[in-house]
Amino acid sequence: MSSLIGILGGMGPLATVDFVTKIINQTPASRDQDHLPLLVHSVPQIPDRTACLMDNRESPIDALLQGLNTLINGGAGCIAIPCNTAHHWYEQLAQASSVPILHIAQACAESLAQDKITSVGLLATDGTLKAGFYPKHLAAFGIDMKMPDAALQRQVMEGIYLVKSGAVEQGGRLLDACMSEMLQQGVERVILGCTEIPFALDHIGSPNAHLGMDATKALAAACIQWHGSRQMAVAA
């Protein structure tokens, strides 16, 4: 199996670049050749995932499958998807894939469990909340999860789409306020369950950042772990 990691991105473009940066920043490397080999498919024209789930708009599955096949045909040995909502279609993609696909919620849950966290809040798109994969993966590790109420969720969505539109500062301020409100509910951590959220909070230097569980960063770490195990298997 190839050690090349395929990134099924473009959802959105900033989030994809942020994900690649997090892989690079977490990789123990002293020279170019020590970094992970990546093949990035960043095609933003994939139909909106949340619009599909909430408003019965066009499904992104055909575009996701096309991107998946492009990466596999390009030699990818595993796939990472730096978009939380797209994981609603994880099972269909996994069934169609000849290589493993890492799961962002699984990576997040494993990281939280390692830190002995037992209660979390979740900031994510309406589509991710409806998809319901975070509670399932967290429950497997005994982690309790709280979701925003309807009023707070509307603010979360507004912040996310501000970031997607390029208003990163404005969106980041709003999302930081949402995170503060979530923390007031007594959770130990808040999962930043949309790839735009950690990017925006980093951009504004959020004082709450240390209490956020960056799902993007967790997926990046899972890529590094997969590559390390693959290299060990080849050496053996």
Residues classed as catalytic? 83, 194
Residue 177 to residue 179: CA distance in whole angstroms: 5
Strands (E), 134-202: 144-146, 189-192
CA dist 220 to 104, 108, 157, Å? Answer: 9, 10, 24
Question: Residue 96 is encoded by which pair of tokens?
Answer: 């169609």
Q: In what order do the strands lie in the sheet with 78-80?
A: 38-42, 5-9, 78-80
What totals of helices (H) and strands (E) does the chain contain, helices first? 11, 7
Residue 63 to residue 49: CA distance in whole angstroms: 11
Question: Within a 10 A sphere around the Cβ of 22, how many other Cβ atoms?
Answer: 23
Per the CB < 8 A criterion, the answer to whether 137 and 103 are in contact is yes
- Amino acid identity, position 169: E
Residue 200 to residue 172: CA distance in whole angstroms: 5
Closest CA relative to residue 172, chosen from 149, 143, 144, 192: 192
Residue 214 to residue 206: CA distance in whole angstroms: 13
Question: Within a 10 A sphere around the Cβ of 196, how many other Cβ atoms?
Answer: 27
